[in-house]
Amino acid sequence: MPEKKITLSHGSGGKATQRLIGEIFRKYFSNSILDRLEDSAFLPGERGKILFTTDSFVVSPIFFPGGDIGKISICGTVNDLTAMGAIPKYLSISFILEEGFDFFALEKICSSIKKTSREANVKIVTGDTKVVEKGSADKIFITTSGIGFRDPKNNISIYNVKPGDNIIINGSVGDHGLAILNARQDMKFTGRIISDCAPLNNMIHACFDKGCKIRAMRDVTRGGLATVLNEAAEASGSGIEVYENKIPVNRPVRSFCEILGLDPLYLANEGKMVIFAAEKDTEKCLKILKDHKYGKHSAVIGKVSKGRGVFLKTAIGGKRPLITLESDQLPRIC
């Protein structure tokens, strides 16, 4: 590995993260389960239905429009399990607190965790707390792990994506990333930008309950929509084409991005799922999503093809490759 020091890019979810995983973590931890690098690990045995996932949350600021580090720590883990077709059931939560951290803030975060886990119908069953000296951490870091169960017949996996599948997203992209940037820099842009942070399990399970054939899902977090599409294309050995004018982008996000020169396709979300659906079930799935509060602006944004790579059909009729970025546009987004 040419690098000698960890940089912020290594935590971006982009190419530098992929190199870190490939050249260090897989070198030492490789096994057939880990190597799939899906949103949750599928545990063999136990009648083939336990899924397991983990995420650390270091978002800054810890309170932002639309959420806080507590809410995001539940949503992130719930959505990772949901993306694998599991019903999230049990969470662990581990706090690393900085000496001097405010009790009132901790209590607010805990109250938010309670509210979100109730909505997502998950139980926090175990936890841990460590405190480090002032200056050795930034306020509060939270790591949540989750266990979910799925029907063994429900074989959802990014490896199953097939040419002809439609690509659906349940609403606008970029909201979370910009909400954080705005909160951090206090830019006071007109048009309030609110994080889309939300637990998506109830919405997705409504699709399952009504028999929609979903081939694969991935929640859009660090690295944005572009990164998720590239991961799917690579894992399944297919090509992907998305239509720029079909991708929902909220008006304030669009203007903000234009001013700052940011691309919403690379900005993080915390309440968006990219769904690969069999063609025949696409309309049914879209209808169910649109009926849910987190899916009102759902849209079919593209199609899986026989080719390779991810391409964006631009609004003016051009076609350009949509690559995975070297590093994220913003650090500590989640």
Site residues for its own copies, window 91-110 (CB under 8 A)? 92-104, 106-107, 110
Q: How far is the CB of 136 from its own copies (least distance, A)?
A: 4
In terms of CB distance, is 111 or 314 closer to its own copies? 111
Query: How far is the C-alpha of 9 from the C-alpha of 289, rounded, in Å?
Result: 34
Contact positions with its own copies (CB under 8 A) in 71-90: 89-90
Query: How far is the C-alpha of 131 from the C-alpha of 141, rounded, in Å?
Result: 10
Contact positions with its own copies (CB under 8 A) in 143-162: 143, 145, 147, 149
CB 75 within 8 A of CB 270: yes
Q: How far is the CB of 79 from its own copies (least distance, A)?
A: 13
Unique residue bearing structure tokens 């790579």? 309
Which residue type, as a one-letter code, is found at position 184?
Answer: R
Phi, psi of 79 (to 5 degrees): -70, -35
Which residue type, as a one-letter code, is found at position 38?
Answer: E
CA dihedral 282, 288, 291, 292 (to 10 degrees): -110
Contact positions with its own copies (CB under 8 A) in 11-30: 11-12, 17, 20-21, 24-25, 27-29
* 173 token code pair: 């992209």
Q: How far is the CB of 89 from its own copies (least distance, A)?
A: 8
Looking at the DSSP bridge assignments, the partners of residue 19 are: none
Of the candidates 250, 268, 229, the one whose C-alpha atom is nearest the C-alpha of residue 57 is 268
Neighbours of 24 (CB within 10 A): 12
| Site residue total, its own copies (CB under 8 A) | 80
Q: How far is the CB of 179 from its own copies (least distance, A)?
A: 19
In terms of CB distance, is 129 or 314 closer to its own copies? 129
Contact positions with its own copies (CB under 8 A) in 51-70: 52-58, 60
Phi, psi of 17 (to 5 degrees): -65, -45
Classified as helix, coil or strand, 215 is: strand
Contact positions with its own copies (CB under 8 A) in 206-245: none
Q: How far is the CB of 38 from its own copies (least distance, A)?
A: 8
In terms of CB distance, is 50 or 200 closer to its own copies? 50
Classified as helix, coil or strand, 96 is: strand
Contact positions with its own copies (CB under 8 A) in 282-311: none
Q: How far is the CB of 308 from its own copies (least distance, A)?
A: 27
Position 41 contacts its own copies (CB under 8 A):
yes
* 330 token code pair: 């913003």
Strand 87-98 and strand 140-149: the pairing is: antiparallel
Region of residue 210 (phi > 0: left; psi between -120 and 50: alpha; otherwise: beta): alpha
Position 34 contacts its own copies (CB under 8 A):
yes
In terms of CB distance, is 141 or 311 closer to its own copies? 141
Q: Which residues contact 186 (CB under 8 A, 6 or more apart)?
A: none
In terms of CB distance, is 37 or 194 closer to its own copies? 37
Q: How far is the CB of 208 from its own copies (least distance, A)?
A: 19
Site string (116-135) toward its own copies, x via CB under 8 A: -x-----xxxxxxxxxxx-x
Position 184 contacts its own copies (CB under 8 A):
no
In terms of CB distance, is 89 or 246 closer to its own copies? 89
Q: How far is the CB of 125 from its own copies (least distance, A)?
A: 4
